[in-house]
Amino acid sequence: MQRKTAALLAGTLLATGAAAHAESEAEKAVEYRESVFHVIGHNFMPMADMVKGKIDYDAEEFATRAERVAQLARMPLEGFVEGTAGVAGSEAKPGIWSNWDDFRGKLEDLQKESAKLAKVAGKGDLQAIKPQFMAVGKACKSCHDEYKEED
């Protein structure tokens, strides 16, 4: 009888541990993608301030930040994995998973537009940068409008 009880207890602990581990992995994935988006925003906002004339334009800083955004834009998709749809505190709307191809396409648009921004920013001409910067902002907004809960 003790063997059956011990076996049952061990099985229960293993199942509970596996479920907790899976939940923990989902939470880590959400934390990862939210961190990437946070760092994108951290780099994007000073560029926005330069484009708007709120701070002085610094071509080298702008180009560095644009390159970072282009690299970071390739990273968030890794955090949108199975099991993350219902993680508490996530700002991701459920429509991401039911409209996966559209969502992925919007992320790909962000990747393309931010790569173009990095390229034009490397030339240092703020007037040439502005329309491409707006294209990146539009790509961000299109995804936020559809797939991000309001803060």
The CATH code of the domain that includes 49 is 1.20.120.10
Place 23 in a pLDDT band, splitting at 50, 70 and 90.
low
Q: Nearest-CA neighbor of 49 among 137, 145, 143?
A: 137
Residue at 115: amino acid letter = A
Range of the domain at 134: 2-80+87-147
Place 100 in a pLDDT band, splitting at 50, 70 and 90.
very high
Each residue's pLDDT tens digit, 35-61: 999 999 999 999 999 999 999 999 999
Q: Looking at residue 24, what is its pLDDT?
A: 82
Place 12 in a pLDDT band, splitting at 50, 70 and 90.
very low
Read off the pLDDT of each residue in 122-132 and give the average, rounded to a whole number.
Answer: 97
Q: What is the DSSP string of the chain?
A: -HHHHHHHHHHHHHHHHHHHHHHHHHHHHHHHHHHHHHHHHHHHHHHHHHHHTSS---HHHHHHHHHHHHHHTTSGGGG--TT-TT-TT--B-THHHHTHHHHHHHHHHHHHHHHHHHHHHTTT-HHHHHHHHHHHHHHHHHHHHHHB---
Domain count, the chain: 1
Residues 6+ apart with CB under 8 A from 129: 51, 62, 117, 120, 121
Q: Looking at residue 21, what is its pLDDT?
A: 53
Each residue's pLDDT tens digit, 54-85: 999 999 999 999 999 999 999 999 999 989 99
Count, residues in the chain: 151
